[in-house]
Amino acid sequence: MPLEVTLIDYARDPLTKLYGAYRTCYTPKTPGEVWDEIGDGRIPPETIREFVAERLKTGHASPLEQVVFWFGISGVSRALSHQFVRHRIGISFEQQSQRYVKYKEERLDYVMPKTWARQGLADEYDRLMKEITRDYEAALKQGIPAEDARFVLPNATPTNFQVMVNFTELLHIADLRLCWRAQWEIRHMVALMRREVMRAVPEIGGYLQPKCGEKRMGYCDEPVKEWERCPIGKVRPHKEQLLEVFKQVRAGHLVPLSEEHLRQVEDAGNED
Please give the positions annotated as active site: 177
Cα–Cα distances in angstroms (integers) from residue 113 to residues 72, 83, 95, 98, 108, in the given order = 22, 16, 22, 22, 16
Instruction: Identify each DSSP E strand in the chain by its residue range.
Output: 4-10, 68-77, 91-95, 158-166
Distance in angstroms (rounded) separating the CA atoms of residues 82 and 65:
24
Phi/psi of residue 161, each to 5°?
A: -130, 150
For residue 79, CA distances in Å to 159, 169, 239, 259 come to 10, 21, 31, 60
Alpha carbons 3 and 180: distance in angstroms, whole number:
19
Cβ neighbours of residue 51 under 8 Å, at least 6 residues apart? 19, 22, 23
